[in-house]
Amino acid sequence: MTAPEIIALPFISTDKRGAAAACGVSIDVITRAINAGALETSTPVGTEDGRAISKPLILATDLLAWIARGKR
């Protein structure tokens, strides 16, 4: 039996600014894709240092899928 291939991602998730930089587009392009429903965001549930986590994040897999569909 062979071991499964391990794929290293430079990140698991990022914010709009990081997504824009990773794709070479503006934050406005990322925001429009999110608002159009073409790019999904996830908001972690929980607290950090007693404060609620509420920052929407874009999973690397969702970003890659969006790029593969043609950055619409």
Residue 30 neighbours by CB distance under 10 Å: 26
pLDDT for the residue numbered 5: 65
Question: What would the pLDDT profile of 25-40 be if each residue is shown by its tens digit?
Answer: 999 999 999 999 999 9
At residue 14, does pLDDT exceed 60? yes
Residue 72 token pair: 């619409």
Q: What is the pLDDT of residue 25?
A: 94
